[in-house]
């Protein structure tokens, strides 16, 4: 795995396992930072909330 990541997308839902995975990510993954006068863009984190689907009653 690269030392510093450019972009990471984390999908979360209401389950505790999902929140535990997000906590692990926040404690263990380092996003890329840009140095002054650098052309490199800093890393970014996108959190995608994926609620459980609702099934309409017939």
More confident call, 1 vs 17:
17
Cα torsion at 22, 8, 30, 38 (round to 10°)? -150
> Does residue 3 have a pLDDT over 60?
no
Burial of 14 (0-12, 13-18, 19+ CB in 10 A): exposed
14: Cβ–Cβ under 8 A, 6 or more apart, which residues?
Answer: 51, 52
Query: What is the domain partition of the chain in residue ranges?
Result: 7-49
Q: pLDDT tens digit string along 10-56?
A: 888 878 888 888 888 888 777 667 677 777 777 788 888 877 777 88
């Amino acid at each position: 795995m690269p030392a510093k990541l450019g972009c990471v997308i984390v999908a979360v839902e209401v389950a505790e396992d999902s929140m535990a995975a997000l906590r692990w990510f926040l404690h263990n993954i380092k996003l890329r930072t840009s140095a002054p006068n650098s052309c490199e863009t800093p890393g970014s984190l996108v959190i995608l909330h994926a609620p459980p689907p609702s099934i309409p009653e017939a």
